[in-house]
Structure 1
Amino acid sequence: IAATGDPALTGLSEAELLNDRAAADPAARNALRFLSYREKFLAGSWRFNTYFGRDTLMSVRLLMPALQPGAIEAGLNAVLARLDRDGEVAHEEALSEFALLERGAKGEASDAATLDYAMVDDDYMLAPVAASYLLERGDAAAARAYLARAVVSEAQPGARDPAGALLVRNLRFVLKSAGPFAASPTTAKLIALKPGRQAGQWRDSNEGLGGGRYAYDVNAVFVPAALDAAARLAASGLLDPYLTPDDRKALADAARMARVWRDQAPSRFRVTMPADRARSAIKGYAATLGIPAEPALATLGRTPLVYHAIALDALGKPVPILHSDEGFALLFTRPAPADLDVMVQSIMRPFPAGLMTDIGLVVANAALASPKLQADFTPAKYHGAVVWSWQQALLASGLERQLARDDLPPPTRARLRTAQAELWRVIKVGREVQNSELWSWAFADGRYQVVAFGAGKQDVDESNAAQLWSTVYLAVQPPAN
C-alpha cells in the first residue's frame, strides 16, 4: 500500500490497451498495464515512473499494431500536452517534491511539473508517429474526430487546444528548424545537439555519440521523415481547420525540403574503409575483447567496408562507430535498394565486423575507431557493445516494413529475408531477458553468454524492472514462415 498527496492517474485496463493482435506474453502485458494511463505512459519503474517523450513516441510506434486506438491517442496526447510554445517535444518531466525543489530554487512556490527540452530527436519523432496513426488506418472520420478533441496543456497550465492545433505547432517547429539546410545544404546547418550538451538522442550517456555533435538518426532519418509526414498530413486535408495562410505556404514546401534532406544528409555520414585496413582493425579489436575474429572476417571479402557513422563531430568529421540506428531508417524511411543493402550488411555482419552476436544485436561497435573510443564502447558501457531489447524490436519492425514494399529487386529482398530470419533466431535465444532494458555478454567456452549489465552502472536495477520499451514484443511477431 502506498500513500501520496499527488492526484492519481487513471489506469488503462488490458482490454483498453491491447487488441487481438497482441502477443500472449503475461509479463509484458502486466508491465505495459502498470505503466499505461489515460494521462500518459510512464517510461519505467521503479526509478522513473514518469513521462519521457522519446520513450512514449517510440513505444507507441512500435506497439501501434497491437494497441487500441484510445491507447495510441493517450500516448500522443501526453506528448502534445507537453509541447512548449515553439512546438518542441518535452523530453522528461519532474514532479511533486522534485518539482517543488526545482521551482523553489528559482523563487517559485509551485509544485507544477517542470519540463526538460534538452533532447533533439523527439522533436522530429512526433510527426511521423502521428502520421502513421492518422493516415495509415484508412479512417479519416476517426482521425478528424481525434484532432478536434481538446488536450489540456501541462506546459502552459490552463491552456486547452485541439490536438490538431498542437500537432501543427510541432510541424511549424520542424519546418523552421529544417529550413536552413533545405535552403543551403551544408554540414553546419544540420541539426546539432544543443549547446553545452553531450547528448541529444536516445544514446543519452555522455559517451553515447563518441563526441559527435550531429547524430545520424536525427539528421539522416527523423528530420526527413518529419518533413515527409508534414507533407502527407497537409495533403490529406486533416489539418485544414488548424492552419493559417502562413502554415499552408510553409507546408507546401515540405515535400521539396524532405527531398533535399533525403538526398543530402545521409551521404555526409557515409564512410568507406579499404578492405585491408578494415580487416586489420577488426582482427586487432577482436583480440582486445578475447573473441574470435574469423567469423567476422569471413563476411568482408575484398571490397571496401561501407557504413554510416554514428554521428559527425563539430567539424563534420564522421565518428567511426558502427551502430544499430539503421533500424530507424528501415522503419521510418524508404531507402533505395542499394542503400538498404549497405544498411542491412553493416548491421548483420557478425560482431566485430557488424553488430550480430549469438545472444543479440549490440547497439554499437567501435572496432574501426581509436583506442580511446573503443574504451568508451565496451560491453560494460550503457550505450556500448550491449544488447538493448527495444532496438532488436525496432530492427524487426523495420525489416517487416521494408519487406512489405513491392519495388525491391530479388537480391535485396533475399538479403532482407535472411536478415529477418537471423534476427529472430537471436531474439528467441534471448527470450529469458527480453523484458530487460538491456544486457551484456561474456565470451567463454567458445560462445557468447548473456550476463547482467556491467557492475557499478546506476541503471543495473532498472534493467530488471518494468520498462515501457521492453514491452514492444507484444506487437513485434516473428514471420509465419
Structure 2
Amino acid sequence: MVVDMRYCRVQPLGACTIALVFLQSFVFAGNQGQNEEYLCSTSHLDPSSAFSAKASSTITVAVASSPSSSPTCSSNATTFHLSDPPYENYFYSDCHSSSHVVVTSPLSNSNLEIIGPRLLIAWPAGNSGVVAFFEPQNGANGSLAIQLENSTTTGQTLDPVYIPSKSSSGTPRVGISGFINFNDSAVLTVPILGSIRTIRDFTEGPSILITYIQDAIEFSDISNGGVSLNRTWLDNSTTTYLDFIPAQSAGSIKINRAINTTLQFEAGTYQFAASFDYPQLEQLSPPEVLNSAAQGLIRQSPDQTTSLSFLSYTKKLLAGTWRFLTYFGRDSMLSLLLMQDILSEGSGGAIEAVIGAVLERVNRTDGSACHEETIGDYATYLNHLENVTSTAPQCDYKMIDTDYYLPIVLKNYFVNTPIGKTRSRSFLNTKATVLVENAGLTYADLALIEAEKIMNSSAAFAAERGQTKENLIHLKTGQIVGEWRDSTYGIGGGRIPYDVNTALVPAALRAIAKLAGAGFFPSHPEWNETADMYAKVWEDETLKFFEVTIPRQTAISLITSYINASSFPGPSHTSNITSDIIFHGLALDGNNDQPIIRVMNTDDCFRLFLLNTTNQPQLSAFLDQTAEHILQPFPVGLSSPVGLFVANPAFGGDAVYAANWTNAAYHGTVVWSWQLAMTAAGLARQLGRCNDTSSPIPDFCTNANLHNKILSAYTHLWDLIDANSAQLSGEVWSWVYNNGFQVEPLGALPPPPGSSPTESDIRQLWSLTFLAVQREEF
C-alpha cells in the first residue's frame, strides 16, 4: 500500500485571494438552460508549514469544524490520497461536507471477474453515495484503465461542490468534482445513486438491483456534450446528481437508451461532479477528536489522525469507508476501548459521541444494543418493505456481542476517569432523540434496561450447578451470525461463540458491579456484589467448554490433510510440533453436527485485554497456549510474515474447513488490524500485572520459562506489526504465496464457492487503534 499524503491548505472562499471558479459548461438536470455555479477554492502549498513539500508527504492539515449555510468556509479544507492498487482513494472534507472517492482500475494481474473500472463516491451524511461501473466500448475486458487527473484551474484532484438552496430554509447541494481520464472508449454500464448500502448489496451480493430505484434515474443531455444523471430518493425530497462533461477536447458523451440506459465515452478526460441535498453531519477535526495529551499525534501520524477525523462526528463515530460509512455499535465501542487514552473527553468529545450513540439506539423492549444503523434512502426502502411510509432510521439488533461492550465503556469513562466522573450526572440525564420509540427515556434508563438484560441472561450459568452448555449465551434464534466474525462461515455455523461466553460476558459483569458500586443503578444496589459473583463463575467455568486438544501425531496428520485439501503451497512446519496442540474453538454446535468448531483463532485477545483472571493454573495454561499460537508459523500456528491469521482451519479434520476458511474469506486465513492491536494490548496488560504492586502477582510472572515465552510472543507480534505498518489502517488484508507470503488486497481474490467477493475498507475505525496501542518495554 502506498500512502500519498497530498495535504493542502485550501484557502477559504471569500478571502481576498480567492477565485470563484465558474464551471460554465455544467448545466444541471432540472435547471436546463441555466448555468449553475460551482464554488471551488484555489489552493497552494504553504511554505511556512512544518512539513516540507517533498516526496509523497507534504504540509499540515486543518479541517473545517462546523457546517455552515454559507458558501464560505472559515476553516481550511483537507484532502489526502491513499493508494491500494487496484484502488485509488481520495478524500475531501470542508465545513460543508466530506467525500471519499474511490477509483478502481484493473491491474495486469487482476481477476477481471471481480475487478473492473469503477468510480465511487461515498458520503458520511446519510451513508450515501454514487457509483458508476465502466467497461471498454470496443476493447477486450481488462483493456480499459481510468484515473483521476488534477484540475488545470485549481491544481487539485478534487474540488468542492456547493450550490445554495433556492429556499432560505432548504438544504444546499454539496459534493465533489474532479477529472477522470479514460485511456480508451468506454461505456458506463451501471450507475447507482442514493445509498452506500444499495451499492454494497450490489457489489457483495448477487448483483441484483431494485427495479423501481434504478428506473428512477433520469438521464439528460446538457450543454457542451455533457450528460447529467439524477435520482430523487424514496423520501421524494432528496436528490443525488452525477454529471459528466468533456474536458480537454474529449468527445461528446452519448446516451444509449436501449434496454438498460448506458453512456458512451470516447477516450479522453471528462469532468465529473457528484452532489446531493441531504443534511450533513458535524465533523470533529483532528484537534477536536483527540485529547490535549494526544495532539502531537497530528504531526506524528497525519494519515491516521486525518482518517480518524473523517470517521468522527459530534453525534457518532462511523465504522469505516467506503463500505461501512455509518454507525456500528460494536466497532465504535471496540475502538473506544483501545483508543480511550487519546480520545477527547467531555461534552462534544469523541468518547461521549461513542457512548451516547450506543445508548440512543438501545432497544427499550429487550435491552439489545444496535449493531448497525440504517439511515437515509436505504432506511426509507426498508420501511417501504414493511409497508410503512417513513424515513425513520432502522437498527439491526441481531448481534449478541454488542450488548456486552456498553457496560465496559460506561465504567471505563464514568467510573475510571476524573472528567467522566464529573460528566456522569448530566450525560445520563440526557433524553434520547434518535429513535422515536425511545422518546421520553434518558440515557440512564437505557443503560439500566441493557444491564438488566445482561444480569438476567447470565444468571442461569452462574447459579449453583448451572454450568452447562445450555446455559451459555447462544446466537439469537434464526440467525447464523452474532459476533464480530459475522460472515456466513465466520464461526462455522456455531450457535455458542467463544469470545462472547469466555470474555465479553464476564467483562460486562465486572463492569456492572463497578457501576452499581458507584451508584449508577440505584434500583439494584445489590449488583455490586451479585455481578461480581456471576463474573467469577463465568471467568473460571467457560473455557473448558471450548478447549480442543489434539495429540501430536494426529496434529501432524491433520496438517498434511489440510495442505492437500487447500493446496497451500508453503511449508507445513510439522517438525515444530513436539507436543499436543491445544486451542479454544470458535464456537459450539456447528454445521454438520460438529460439537465444536476446531479452528485455531485470535479471539484469545478478548480475555487477554478485558479480564484479569485469578484462577492461576487456568491463567498460566491459557497464556502458554496463546503465546504458542503467536510464535508458531502457519499452518501449525497463526503467525505469518503478513501478520497473525485470525483463523487457522488446519486442525478441523474435514475438507469443509479448508473450503470455508480460505485466504479469500472475510474471516478466513486473513489478517485483521484491530485483532493485532487487541492481542498486543492484551499481552501488555497481562505482562503489566507482573509489576503491579496493587494486586497479587500472578503465578506466571514467577515462572521464568513461561514469562519469557509470553514476552517472546509479545516481541514477535510487534515485529510482525511493524513489518506490516503499511496495512495497519485498513480493515483486513490477505496474501498470495509466491516464494513466500506477499500481501494482497482481500477484494482482489476470488471468493470461496457460494460466496461473494469482499472488498476491504481502506480505512476502518478500529484499525486506527495503533494510534494508541504502542509497543511497551517489559
| Aligned equivalents of 2:438, 2:678: Cα separation in 1 | 37
Aligned to 1:105: 385
Aligned to 2:724: 430
| Aligned equivalents of 1:254, 1:374: Cα separation in 2 | 41
User: Are residues 1:231 and 2:503 paired?
Assistant: no
Aligned to 1:18: 290
User: Are residues 1:463 and 2:761 paired?
Assistant: yes
Aligned to 1:282: 559
**1:75 aligned residue (350, 354, 362):** 354
Aligned to 1:166: 446
Q: Residue deviations 1:333-388, cap 9 Å, x none?
A: 12422322222323432111111101101100000011112210011111100011
Q: Residue deviations 1:297-347, cap 9 Å, x none?
A: 34431x321110111116782110001111111110124223222223234
For structure 1, the residue ranges without an aligned partner over 5 or more in a row are none
Aligned to 2:530: 253
- Secondary structure class of the residue paired with 1:7: coil
> Do the aligned partners of residues 66 and 140 (structure 1) sit closer, same or farther apart at CA in structure 2, a change above 3 Å counting?
closer
For structure 2, the residue ranges without an aligned partner over 5 or more in a row are 1-160, 162-174, 176-274, 614-618, 691-696
- Secondary structure class of the residue paired with 2:549: strand
My pick for the range that moved more, 356-365 or 335-344, is: 335-344
Amino acid aligned to 1:108:
V
Aligned to 1:304: 580
User: Are residues 1:384 and 2:668 paired?
Assistant: yes
| Aligned equivalents of 1:438, 1:141: Cα separation in 2 | 36
Q: Residue deviations 1:71-107, cap 9 Å, x none?
A: 1111111101100012211011111211111112222
User: Are residues 1:193 and 2:475 paired?
Assistant: yes
**Larger gyration radius, structure 1 or structure 2:** 2
Aligned to 2:681: 397
Counterpart mapping for 1:331-350 below 5 A: 331-335=609-613, 336-350=619-633
- Secondary structure class of the residue paired with 1:65: coil
| Aligned equivalents of 1:379, 1:462: Cα separation in 2 | 13
Amino acid aligned to 1:205:
S
> Do the aligned partners of residues 442 and 158 (structure 1) sit closer, same or farther apart at CA in structure 2, a change above 3 Å counting?
closer
- Secondary structure class of the residue paired with 1:126: helix
**1:126 aligned residue (406, 410, 414):** 406
> Do the aligned partners of residues 140 and 388 (structure 1) sit closer, same or farther apart at CA in structure 2, a change above 3 Å counting?
closer
| Aligned equivalents of 2:730, 2:668: Cα separation in 1 | 16
| Aligned equivalents of 2:494, 2:393: Cα separation in 1 | 31
TM-score (norm 2): 0.58
Aligned to 1:175: 455
Q: Residue deviations 1:168-219, cap 9 Å, x none?
A: 2211111011122222121012111111211111111100001211100011
1:5 CA displacement: 4.2
User: Are residues 1:373 and 2:657 paired?
Assistant: yes
Would the aligned equivalents of 2:289 and 2:309 in 1 still touch at CA under 8 Å?
yes
| Aligned equivalents of 2:372, 2:555: Cα separation in 1 | 40
> Do the aligned partners of residues 122 and 311 (structure 1) sit closer, same or farther apart at CA in structure 2, a change above 3 Å counting?
same
1:437 CA displacement: 1.0
Aligned to 1:137: 417
| Aligned equivalents of 2:721, 2:527: Cα separation in 1 | 43
Q: Residue deviations 1:279-313, cap 9 Å, x none?
A: 2222443453011123xx34431x32111011111
**2:397 aligned residue (117, 121, 133):** 117
Amino acid aligned to 2:709:
R
| Aligned equivalents of 1:87, 1:167: Cα separation in 2 | 8
**2:497 aligned residue (199, 211, 215):** 215
Amino acid aligned to 2:634:
F
My pick for the range that moved more, 401-410 or 304-313, is: 401-410
User: Are residues 1:351 and 2:649 paired?
Assistant: no
- Secondary structure class of the residue paired with 1:257: helix
| Aligned equivalents of 1:480, 1:50: Cα separation in 2 | 37
| Aligned equivalents of 1:316, 1:223: Cα separation in 2 | 24
| Aligned equivalents of 1:278, 1:50: Cα separation in 2 | 43
Would the aligned equivalents of 2:411 and 2:515 in 1 still touch at CA under 8 Å?
yes
My pick for the range that moved more, 470-479 or 359-368, is: 470-479
| Aligned equivalents of 2:655, 2:562: Cα separation in 1 | 9
> Do the aligned partners of residues 141 and 263 (structure 1) sit closer, same or farther apart at CA in structure 2, a change above 3 Å counting?
closer
Would the aligned equivalents of 1:83 and 1:155 in 2 still touch at CA under 8 Å?
no
1:459 CA displacement: 6.3
Amino acid aligned to 2:368:
E
Would the aligned equivalents of 2:516 and 2:522 in 1 still touch at CA under 8 Å?
no
- Higher strand residue share: 2
Amino acid aligned to 1:359:
V
**Amino-acid identity (%):** 35
| Aligned equivalents of 2:422, 2:688: Cα separation in 1 | 25
Amino acid aligned to 2:515:
L
Would the aligned equivalents of 2:496 and 2:588 in 1 still touch at CA under 8 Å?
yes
My pick for the range that moved more, 273-282 or 310-319, is: 310-319
> Do the aligned partners of residues 372 and 82 (structure 1) sit closer, same or farther apart at CA in structure 2, a change above 3 Å counting?
same
1:159 CA displacement: 2.0
**1:150 aligned residue (407, 430, 441):** 430
TM-score (norm 1): 0.92
| Aligned equivalents of 1:107, 1:273: Cα separation in 2 | 54
| Aligned Cα root-mean-square deviation (Å) | 2.1
Aligned to 1:477: 774
Aligned to 1:262: 539
| Aligned equivalents of 2:676, 2:512: Cα separation in 1 | 28
Would the aligned equivalents of 1:360 and 1:387 in 2 still touch at CA under 8 Å?
yes
Amino acid aligned to 1:256:
M
1:251 CA displacement: 5.2
- Higher helix residue share: 1
| Aligned equivalents of 2:577, 2:432: Cα separation in 1 | 54
User: Are residues 1:93 and 2:388 paired?
Assistant: no
- Secondary structure class of the residue paired with 1:271: strand
> Do the aligned partners of residues 311 and 177 (structure 1) sit closer, same or farther apart at CA in structure 2, a change above 3 Å counting?
same
- Secondary structure class of the residue paired with 1:74: helix
1:270 CA displacement: 0.8
**1:39 aligned residue (296, 315, 327):** 315
| Aligned equivalents of 1:250, 1:480: Cα separation in 2 | 38
| Aligned equivalents of 2:582, 2:629: Cα separation in 1 | 7
